[in-house]
Amino acid sequence: MTDLPWGTNQNLTDEEFYNRESELTNIKNLLQSTGQGHAPDLLLTGIRGVGKTVFLKKLKREMDNEYLVVYIDFSKSKCYQKNQMSIIGLMEHIFKEFIKESKSKGLNTLDKQIEKYFKSNDFKIKEFIQIDKIPMPVFSKETNEEKLMDFVMDLPEKIYEKNQDKIKGVLIFIDEFQLIRELNDYKDSFLWKLRSYIQNQRNVGYVFSGSMSMQNKLISKITSQNGAFGGRMISIHLNPFEKETVRNYLSEKAPYIIFSDDGFDRFYKCTSGTPSYVNIFAALLPINQRLDDNAIKIQFDKKIQAISSHLINIWTRLSFREQTIIIILLEKPLRRVDIANEFGISTGSLSNYLNNLQNQGLIIQNNGLYEISEPILKRWLELEFNEKGIYPYRNI
């Protein structure tokens, strides 16, 4: 075992953070313009496990001294966790995280004005809950969605205006932004509303981040000239590490892992340079032993349960039909009509299942063909079948 950070750790120290210096410098330079009243809006994309959350938290630490930096994770919102995604639920989550961060920084959070606003606009509030000794309202379904969005999205600019002597501006990082796909028919209107609020905020910059490949349709809805932000959003993609970067990283951080040339080539192929997989697999390798191509193959298959644990968790939550779609795609990419024919149903009946698998980042569509986007999940399923003669439809 090594002392490498575990691949699912999202809070790396500065010593554990590796590479990405050019991306970090570029984004910091862009965000610094917020202090001059020219706040940018950025979209940070990348596949699952490439290190977006780690990157955002590093960026937050770098800019916390001069700015109010609020990190918001949509996957932690109550509405998402309860499978009740809604605009009201997301606004409630943004408000909660914004107030918590503002108070932790000792800023004037306009408590009296907020209380007056709640009362004068007749908000439907189910209850107040205590979070870190801060009373937070829980809004009911009857709350006026438009008024609540007005209030929450305008609040950062108002907080900045009251605290200009303490901060240069406000930076809001929204992680797991791709989950707005679960708003379904409300997704597009939400994006357009969001643009209407933030396009005129001079001292509030936004970074939206999510697990999205460059082929993802949501990206074009956000960043294209015809998208909600009309080409105004700056898109930055985090790529997996290149082979030499992984080699240098392991040589520096784990010199006791000894690869032959073909062993390292196999290691890189198994992990695809994705930082989370690099860290997990490397942490499980034997130390002070020469590892060639065959040894890495054996180790990968033996340790794949641990390497793919987060994917297995996702797998067990899929419906039987969603799991079957994945299994159908193991052999080769297929058109929607081919998948429908396997079930003997119409193509329209597949929409919800295909959309959910795409939302989970398990499949992508390229040139009209659906294919598995997680090769490690694919290998785990193949090994399960080879060992047991049946795919693991039921919980593991």
pLDDT: is 283 or 143 the higher one? Answer: 283
In a domain, 380, yes or no: yes
Are the beta carbons of 135 and 128 closer than 8 angstroms?
yes
Residues 43 and 125 in one domain: yes
Is the pLDDT reported for residue 215 higher than 60? Answer: no
What CATH number is given to the structural domain containing 257? 1.10.8
Q: Cα 236–155–133 angle (5° rounding)?
A: 105
Which of 253, 278, 307 corresponds to the end of one domain? 307
Q: What pLDDT does residue 172 have? A: 96
**DSSP states of 115-169:** HHHHHHTT--EEEEEEETTEEEEEE-TTS-HHHHHHHHHHHHHHHHHHTTTT-S-
Which of 179, 208, 237 corresponds to the end of one domain? 237
Residues 79 and 209 in one domain: yes
In a domain, 14, yes or no: no
Tell me the HSE value of 96 on the side-chain side, using a 13 A CA sphere: 23
In a domain, 143, yes or no: yes
- Mean predicted confidence (pLDDT) in 4-22: 64
Give dist(CA 142, CA 152) in Å, integer.
17
Residues 140 and 211 in one domain: yes
Structural domain count of the chain: 3
Is the pLDDT reported for residue 232 higher than 80? Answer: no
Q: What pLDDT does residue 146 have? A: 86
Q: What pLDDT does residue 129 have? A: 66
Write the pLDDT tens digit of every residue in 71-128.
Answer: 999 999 999 998 889 998 999 899 989 999 999 999 988 877 777 777 667 677 666 6
Q: What pLDDT does residue 113 have? A: 79
Residues 86 and 42 in one domain: yes
Write the pLDDT tens digit of every residue in 57-74.
Answer: 999 999 999 999 999 999
Which of 184, 211, 237 corresponds to the end of one domain? 237
Residues 162 and 31 in one domain: yes
Residues 268 and 357 in one domain: no
In a domain, 277, yes or no: yes
Q: What percent of the chain has pLDDT over 90?
A: 51
Write the pLDDT tens digit of every residue in 253-305.
Answer: 899 999 999 999 999 999 999 998 999 999 999 999 999 999 999 999 999 99
Question: 134: pLDDT confidence band, cut at 50, 70 and 90?
Answer: low
Is the pLDDT reported for residue 369 higher than 80? Answer: yes
Q: What pLDDT does residue 326 have? A: 96
Q: What pLDDT does residue 370 have? A: 95
In a domain, 312, yes or no: no
Q: What pLDDT does residue 371 have? A: 94
In a domain, 104, yes or no: yes
Q: What pLDDT does residue 188 have? A: 85
Residues 86 and 229 in one domain: yes
| Max mean pLDDT range (170-184, 211-225, 259-273, 308-322) | 259-273
Residues 261 and 124 in one domain: no
Residues 64 and 138 in one domain: yes
Residues 70 and 135 in one domain: yes
What CATH number is given to the structural domain containing 44? 3.40.50.300
pLDDT: is 136 or 350 the higher one? Answer: 350
For the chain, give the mean pLDDT: 87
pLDDT: is 371 or 225 the higher one? Answer: 371
Residues 262 and 164 in one domain: no
Give dist(CA 192, CA 146) in Å, integer.
13
In a domain, 351, yes or no: yes
In a domain, 286, yes or no: yes
pLDDT: is 133 or 139 the higher one? Answer: 139
Are the beta carbons of 86 and 183 closer than 8 angstroms?
yes
Residues 297 and 166 in one domain: no
Tell me the HSE value of 180 on the side-chain side, using a 13 A CA sphere: 25
Domain that residue 162 falls in: 21-237
pLDDT: is 123 or 370 the higher one? Answer: 370
**DSSP states of 286-350:** PSSSEE-HHHHHHHHHHHHHHHTHHHHHHHHHS-HHHHHHHHHTTTS-B-HHHHHHHHTS-GGGG
Is the pLDDT reported for residue 384 higher than 90? Answer: yes
